[in-house]
Structure 1
Amino acid sequence: IPGLSVLRGHETSPGFLLRPPRSPRPLRPLTRSSPEVAASPWRFGEGSVMDASGHCVCTVILPDDTFPLRRLELLETSARNLTLRDYGQRLARYEAKLHNASRRLQGLETGDLTPAELDFQELRKEIDEMEHVVGHLRSSLNGSDTTVEVLQNMSVTVSALESYDKGHVVAMRRELTMLKQRLEDCQKDKPLVGRQPPIGTCDHRGIWRIGKPSVVQLNWRGASYKAGAWGKESSLRAGRKERYWVAPLNLDGRRLDSVRLYGSYQDLLLSRNPTDQLITGSGQGAGPALYNGSFYYNCYNARDLCRLNLESGAVDRKPVPNATFNNRFSYAGTSWQGLDLAADESGLWVLFATERSEGDIVIGRLGPGSLALEKTWQTSQYKPAATNAFMACGVMYATRAVSTRREEIFYAYDTRTGQERRLSLPLDKVTDVVRSLSYNPSDRKLYVYSDGFLLSHDVLFRS
Structure 2
Amino acid sequence: MTVPLLKIGAVLSTMAMVTNWMSQTLPSLVGLNGTAVSRAGTSEKITLFQSPDEGWQVFTSAQAPDGKCLCTAVIPVQGSCSRDLRSLQLRQLLEKVQNISQSMEVLDLRTFRDLQYVRNTEAQIRALDSRLRGASEGHRALSARSFQDLKEKMRELLPLLPVLEQYKADSRLIVHLKDEVRNLSGILLEIQEEMGAYDYEELQQRVLLLEARLHACLQKLGCGKLTGVSNPVTVRASGSRFGSWMTDTMTPSADTRVWYMDGYFKGRRVLEFRSLGDFVSGQNFVQHLLPHPWAGTGHVVFNGSLYYNKFQSNVAVRYHFRSRSVLVQRTIAGAGYNNTFPYSWGGFSDIDFMVDENGLWVVYTTNQNAGNIVVSRVDPQTLEVLRSWDTGYPKRSAGESFMICGVLYVTNSHLAGAKIYFAYHTNTSSYEYTDIPFHNQYSHISMLDYNPRERVLYTWNNGHQVIYNVTLFHLIDTAGEL
Which band: TM-score by shorter chain?
Answer: 0.5 to 0.7
Counterpart of 1:391 in structure 2 is 403
- Give the superposition deviation at 1:254: 2.4
Answer yes or no: is the 8 Å Cα contact 1:447–1:454 preserved in 2: yes
Counterpart of 1:258 in structure 2 is 269
1:230 to 238, 242, 245: 245
Secondary structure in structure 2 of the residue aligned to 1:384:
helix
Counterpart of 1:20 in structure 2 is 45
What is the one-letter code of the residue matched to 2:245? W
Secondary structure in structure 1 of the residue aligned to 2:283:
coil
Counterpart of 2:382 in structure 1 is 370
Instruction: Tell me how far apart the structure 2 counterparts of residues 54 and 255 of structure 1 sit (CA, whole Å).
Output: 57
Q: Which has the higher helix share?
A: 2
Instruction: Tell me how far apart the structure 2 counterparts of residues 197 and 399 of structure 1 sit (CA, whole Å).
Output: 32
The 1:246–1:414 alpha-carbon spacing in structure 2 relative to 1, beyond 3 Å, is same
Answer yes or no: is the 8 Å Cα contact 1:196–1:460 preserved in 2: no
The 1:458–1:240 alpha-carbon spacing in structure 2 relative to 1, beyond 3 Å, is closer
1:271 to 282, 286, 290: 282
The alignment of Structure 1 onto Structure 2 pairs a total of residues equal to 311
Secondary structure in structure 1 of the residue aligned to 2:458:
strand
Counterpart of 1:89 in structure 2 is none
- Give the superposition deviation at 1:218: 1.4
Counterpart of 1:443 in structure 2 is 454
Instruction: Tell me how far apart the structure 2 counterparts of residues 229 and 395 of structure 1 sit (CA, whole Å).
Output: 22
- Give the superposition deviation at 1:269: 2.6
Counterpart of 2:260 in structure 1 is 246
1:314 to 325, 330, 343: 325
What is the one-letter code of the residue matched to 1:285? G
- Give the superposition deviation at 1:197: 8.1
Instruction: Tell me how far apart the structure 1 counterparts of residues 104 and 345 of structure 2 sit (CA, whole Å).
Output: 59
- Give the superposition deviation at 1:278: 1.2
Check if 1:434 corresponds to 2:445: yes
The 1:195–1:303 alpha-carbon spacing in structure 2 relative to 1, beyond 3 Å, is same
What is the one-letter code of the residue matched to 1:290? V
The 1:19–1:260 alpha-carbon spacing in structure 2 relative to 1, beyond 3 Å, is farther
1:250-303: CA deviations, max 9, x gaps?
xxx423221111222222233221111112121111100011111111101111
Counterpart of 2:28 in structure 1 is none
The 1:402–1:353 alpha-carbon spacing in structure 2 relative to 1, beyond 3 Å, is closer
- Give the superposition deviation at 1:377: 0.7
- Give the superposition deviation at 1:449: 0.6
Counterpart of 1:457 in structure 2 is 468
What is the one-letter code of the residue matched to 1:373? V
Instruction: Tell me how far apart the structure 1 counterparts of residues 319 and 83 of structure 2 sit (CA, whole Å).
Output: 50
- Give the superposition deviation at 1:235: 1.4
Instruction: Tell me how far apart the structure 2 counterparts of residues 387 and 439 of structure 1 sit (CA, whole Å).
Output: 15
1:15-66: CA deviations, max 9, x gaps?
xxx99289998999xxxxxxxxxxxxxxxxx9874744289x999x999x98
The 1:387–1:198 alpha-carbon spacing in structure 2 relative to 1, beyond 3 Å, is farther
1:122-172: CA deviations, max 9, x gaps?
xxxxxxxxxxxxxxxxxxxxxxxx99x98xxxxxxxxxxxxxxxxxxxxxx
Check if 1:213 corresponds to 2:200: no
- 1:73-152 equivalences in 2 (<5 Å): none
Counterpart of 2:335 in structure 1 is 323
Check if 1:351 corresponds to 2:363: yes
What is the one-letter code of the residue matched to 2:307? Y
- 1:151-230 equivalences in 2 (<5 Å): 198=217, 201=220, 204-219=223-238, 222=239, 225-230=240-245
- Give the superposition deviation at 1:305: 0.7
Instruction: Tell me how far apart the structure 2 counterparts of residues 295 and 381 of structure 1 sit (CA, whole Å).
Output: 27
Answer yes or no: is the 8 Å Cα contact 2:50–2:80 preserved in 1: no
Secondary structure in structure 2 of the residue aligned to 1:267:
helix
- Give the superposition deviation at 1:317: 1.6
- Give the superposition deviation at 1:382: 0.6
Secondary structure in structure 2 of the residue aligned to 1:266:
helix
Counterpart of 2:83 in structure 1 is 53
Which residues of structure 2 form unaligned runs of 5+?
Answer: 1-42, 54-75, 111-157, 163-212, 475-482
Counterpart of 1:381 in structure 2 is 393
- Give the superposition deviation at 1:232: 1.3
Counterpart of 1:93 in structure 2 is none
**TM-score, normalised via structure 1 length:** 0.58
Answer yes or no: is the 8 Å Cα contact 2:400–2:448 preserved in 1: yes
Answer yes or no: is the 8 Å Cα contact 2:224–2:405 preserved in 1: no
Kindly report the root-mean-square deviation, in angstroms, between the aligned alpha carbons of the 2 structures: 4.3
Answer yes or no: is the 8 Å Cα contact 1:196–1:461 preserved in 2: no
1:362-417: CA deviations, max 9, x gaps?
0111114121111111111111111001111111111123962x421111111111
1:400 to 412, 431, 436: 412
Check if 1:283 corresponds to 2:294: yes
Instruction: Tell me how far apart the structure 1 counterparts of residues 363 and 237 of structure 2 sit (CA, whole Å).
Output: 27
Answer yes or no: is the 8 Å Cα contact 2:225–2:472 preserved in 1: yes
- Give the superposition deviation at 1:358: 1.0
Identity of paired residues, percent? Answer: 23
Check if 1:361 corresponds to 2:373: yes
What is the one-letter code of the residue matched to 2:257? R
Answer yes or no: is the 8 Å Cα contact 2:402–2:409 preserved in 1: yes
Instruction: Tell me how far apart the structure 1 counterparts of residues 289 and 354 of structure 2 sit (CA, whole Å).
Output: 21
Which residues of structure 1 form unaligned runs of 5+?
Answer: 1-17, 29-45, 75-145, 151-193
Answer yes or no: is the 8 Å Cα contact 1:397–1:409 preserved in 2: yes
Answer yes or no: is the 8 Å Cα contact 1:332–1:386 preserved in 2: yes
Answer yes or no: is the 8 Å Cα contact 1:402–1:408 preserved in 2: no
Answer yes or no: is the 8 Å Cα contact 2:400–2:413 preserved in 1: no
Secondary structure in structure 2 of the residue aligned to 1:276:
strand
The 1:368–1:359 alpha-carbon spacing in structure 2 relative to 1, beyond 3 Å, is same
Counterpart of 2:344 in structure 1 is 332
Instruction: Tell me how far apart the structure 2 counterparts of residues 416 and 21 of structure 1 sit (CA, whole Å).
Output: 51
What is the one-letter code of the residue matched to 2:228? R
What is the one-letter code of the residue matched to 1:329? F
